Structure 1
Amino acid sequence: MAEIREVFAGGWLGKGPRTSAFEAAFAAHLGVAADRLVSLNSCTEGLFLAMELLDIGPGDEVVLPSVSFVGAANAVAARHGTPVFCDVDPSTLNPSAAHIAARLTTATRAVLVLHYGGYPGDIENIAALCRDRGIPLVEDAACAVASRASGTACGTFGEIGLWSFDPMKVLVTGDGGMLYARDPETARRAAELAYLGLRQVSGYAQAGNGGRWWDFQVGPFGRRSITNDIAAAIGSVQLEKLPSFVRRRREITHWYHGRLAGVAGLRRPAPPPPGHEPSYYFYWVQMDRRIRDEVATRLYRRGIYTSFRYAPLHLVGAYGPQPPLPGAERASEETLCIPLHQGLDDSQLDTVATELTAAVTEQCELAGIERS
């Protein structure tokens, strides 16, 4: 609140010095040059920009995991490209390089991966595959604001990376996002497209220095996708707190993992492999598909909200006919994301674990499922 008051006291609420400072701080967090980052009003807008920057169009295929955010597929389809969905590992809900490779064709123009739940997945092998095939890699790192694989920040393995700062994420600005481009010229084009395609803008900073500072030129026909100094001020404070947020989320994840060990009929996610640092965005459990929905309903009636993110996109008719993807379909029927947030206290965690154990036990008995 103190930072927001300073923004209002300064009299400039739009995109300005606070936004530039946030971009620079986030670049330092990622370990990249600040001129490769463009702050945006949402990660979804970044996905649309990415498809525009790659000039995706009719006849172009973009391979992405079926368990992805709907905005990713929309971004492809809006350019009249074809989303081509690949399968995922039913336990990690991330695709492997083999899953991606199985869907590549001569029409593939890009690969777009999600880091499910903030876990890096097989990103190193996927990035190597894309380099070998000469295919641009786009990373939807919305869930992976602090995730790394072998020391490299998720979102920076490919040509374009995107992060979300919406109200459900780990680092929150109210709404907002960030785009990274490996190529500085691509980053410059992204910034131009994000602000109406304007060129030769002088404006307030040049007022009174001679000439008509209100003149401008338009290059590409862009949209207005920029953020503002209010959101950036919030983001700067959140970025300072990010290590403590992730630390608490890691503690909760480990606590769940220990507390839920041995619960018959319940499967826990595998721990990340060596060298992987997740953001711990989701914690999910898996169970027999015959009881998953009933368990969710019982928990909701007990005051505990659960969900499954994200519904398989290959089953959405708007994207056209798609082949069956057994891993994604199995995951969507057996997985439940349970509460995970740095604001949860130990008593709330105990309530979640106790109620989840009771719900699984009860539903297994009612369904006649032998638990092991």
Structure 2
Amino acid sequence: MINVFQPSLGEEELDAVRAVFESNWIGKGAKVDEFERTFAAHLGVDAANVMSVTSCTEATFLAMELAGVGPGCEVVVPTVSFVSVANAVAAHGARPVFCDVDPRTLNPTAEHVEAALTSATKAVVVLHYGGHPGDIERIAALCRDRGLLLIEDAANAVASTAGGRACGTFGDFGVWSFDHGKIAVAVDGGILYARDPAHVERGRKLAYFGLEAFSGFSQAERSANRWWDIEVSEFGRRSIMNDVLAAVGCVQLRRLPDFLRRRGEIVARYDRELAGLPGLALPPRLPEGHVGSHYFYWVQMAADIRDDVAADLYRRGIYTTLRYPLLHKVRAYGADVRLPGAERAAATTLCLPLHQGLSDADVTAVVAALTETVTARSAREAS
């Protein structure tokens, strides 16, 4: 099966994990610190603004807590988002208010966000769909003007920039994922960015039981005696990263430029070889000053053939998908709203395989199969 997503792991990652095992320290330690410093440098921010956690979902939950999201609050969320975002809002007793997106970019515009604002709005969440920055500059300006917190879900956007600035750093908080399906993986794990370093300092406590300091060797070095005593400042949980995952993550960040180069080559081939195929729309080109991460490559076609095309490709050993199912259609969130742009996109969009492990032969197979099945299905519908 030619997969939609697939990690690229090898001997370098195994050597890094082996070194951690041989150190006899596999918990949170030097490798976690290195991973955080490296990613902060990648973003162009100070290490004091960045912390690692067990997953992007945990980073999102933590961002909501640090932002003061709670009962009586509303948080605007694009309906094309991952379920973890809406869960993080609802789990804190707040109400997710879903906004529409552009049917071609699948990102919200500032106008979409503004239309969903009410007097109860506390924060806005944006997703950089497929690694495209979207309307982030204008949305950030809107949030500043309205005194709203902005949380960026940059899980798709590990290397995306707008105007030379890293996506995830336009707002008050940003979150990234390093799970098995991302461009750079740490097997699992997430990063939280906060504009205010005080939020990171508090976040570190919340991610480790609310303790004022870690116990063990680090505490012993600062205390002449009774280094095992603890002090709990608030009620937290355990969601810290460990050196095993961080070691993999450090290697993957070093390899990230090569991953992005290969993904760019694949995108260029898709753009070139699928151009002009009747009935098929390719991803919109990025505006001037925007750099994407090549996370998704999505095509759009008539709604009445999309599902059949996906099934045909699957039978040929090519896995495709729709990311992401619309959140305002999920009963648990209790939304009662029509969002026509997102609904149109959800009916017509299909994400093709895109990862750095795709061979040239894989790409050729995807292009040939998609061309054949779209042409055949379109002809059948027209007859």
TM interval, short-chain normalised: over 0.9
Gaps of 5+ in 1: none
Name 1:91's counterpart in structure 2.
104
Name 1:133's counterpart in structure 2.
146
Tell me the alpha carbon deviations over residues 190-212 of structure 1, each in whole angstroms, 9 at most, x when there is no partner.
11111111114342234385311
Alpha-carbon distance in structure 1 between the residues aligned to 2:369 and 2:291: 29
Residue pair 2:50, 2:192 contacting (<8 A) in 1 also: yes
Residue pair 1:58, 1:80 contacting (<8 A) in 2 also: yes
Residue pair 1:85, 1:322 contacting (<8 A) in 2 also: no
Name 2:338's counterpart in structure 1.
324
Q: CA deviation at 1:367?
A: 1.6
Alpha-carbon distance in structure 1 between the residues aligned to 2:71 and 2:256: 41
Name 1:69's counterpart in structure 2.
82
Residue pair 2:213, 2:219 contacting (<8 A) in 1 also: no
Alpha-carbon distance in structure 2 between the residues aligned to 1:194 and 1:297: 43
Q: CA deviation at 1:132?
A: 0.6
**Aligned pair partner of 1:9 in 22, 26, 29:** 22
Residue pair 1:3, 1:234 contacting (<8 A) in 2 also: yes
Using structure 1 for the length normalisation, give the TM-score.
Answer: 0.98
366 and 4 in structure 1: CA distance in 2 versus 1, 3 angstrom threshold? same
**Aligned pair partner of 2:209 in 185, 189, 196:** 196
218-227 vs 288-297, greater mean Cα deviation:
218-227
Residue pair 1:193, 1:221 contacting (<8 A) in 2 also: yes
Name 1:182's counterpart in structure 2.
195
Alpha-carbon distance in structure 2 between the residues aligned to 1:201 and 1:73: 32
Residue pair 1:201, 1:217 contacting (<8 A) in 2 also: no
**Aligned pair partner of 2:327 in 308, 313, 321:** 313
Name 1:356's counterpart in structure 2.
370
Tell me the alpha carbon deviations over residues 64-100 of structure 1, each in whole angstroms, 9 at most, x when there is no partner.
1000000000000001100000000000000000100
Aligned-pair identity (%): 59
Residue pair 1:76, 1:82 contacting (<8 A) in 2 also: yes
Name 2:311's counterpart in structure 1.
297
Residue pair 1:63, 1:103 contacting (<8 A) in 2 also: yes
Q: How does 1:28-47 map to 2 (within 5 A)?
A: 28-47=41-60
Residue pair 1:43, 1:164 contacting (<8 A) in 2 also: yes
Give 3-state SS (helix, strand or coil) of 1:218's partner: coil
Alpha-carbon distance in structure 2 between the residues aligned to 1:119 and 1:296: 23
Q: How does 1:198-237 map to 2 (within 5 A)?
A: 198-207=211-220, 210-237=224-251
Q: CA deviation at 1:309?
A: 0.2
Residue pair 2:28, 2:241 contacting (<8 A) in 1 also: yes
1:59 aligns with 2:72: yes
Alpha-carbon distance in structure 2 between the residues aligned to 1:180 and 1:210: 34
Using structure 2 for the length normalisation, give the TM-score.
Answer: 0.95
Gaps of 5+ in 2: 1-13
Give 3-state SS (helix, strand or coil) of 2:72's partner: coil
Task: Name the aligned partner's letter for residue 258 of structure 1.
Answer: R
Tell me the alpha carbon deviations over residues 328-352 of structure 1, each in whole angstroms, 9 at most, x when there is no partner.
0000000000000011011110100
1:288 aligns with 2:299: no
Give 3-state SS (helix, strand or coil) of 2:264's partner: helix
Tell me the alpha carbon deviations over residues 264-318 of structure 1, each in whole angstroms, 9 at most, x when there is no partner.
1111111111111100000000000000000000000000000000001011111
Give 3-state SS (helix, strand or coil) of 1:221's partner: coil
Task: Name the aligned partner's letter for residue 39 of structure 1.
Answer: S
Task: Name the aligned partner's letter for residue 293 of structure 1.
Answer: D
211-220 vs 125-134, greater mean Cα deviation:
211-220
Residue pair 2:50, 2:194 contacting (<8 A) in 1 also: yes
Alpha-carbon distance in structure 2 between the residues aligned to 1:17 and 1:87: 43
Name 1:106's counterpart in structure 2.
119
Alpha-carbon distance in structure 2 between the residues aligned to 1:31 and 1:297: 43
Runs of 4+ in 1 over 4 A off after TM superposition: none
Residue pair 2:127, 2:153 contacting (<8 A) in 1 also: yes
Tell me the alpha carbon deviations over residues 194-250 of structure 1, each in whole angstroms, 9 at most, x when there is no partner.
111111434223438531111111112111111100111111110011011111111
RMSD (Å) for aligned C-alpha atoms: 1.0
Task: Name the aligned partner's letter for residue 273 of structure 2.
Answer: R
Residue pair 2:303, 2:348 contacting (<8 A) in 1 also: yes
Alpha-carbon distance in structure 2 between the residues aligned to 1:99 and 1:40: 31
Q: CA deviation at 1:129?
A: 0.5
- The structure showing larger relative contact order (alpha-carbon pairs under 8 Å, at least 6 residues apart) is 2
Name 1:145's counterpart in structure 2.
158
Alpha-carbon distance in structure 1 between the residues aligned to 2:120 and 2:79: 19
360-369 vs 28-37, greater mean Cα deviation:
360-369
Residue pair 1:201, 1:214 contacting (<8 A) in 2 also: no
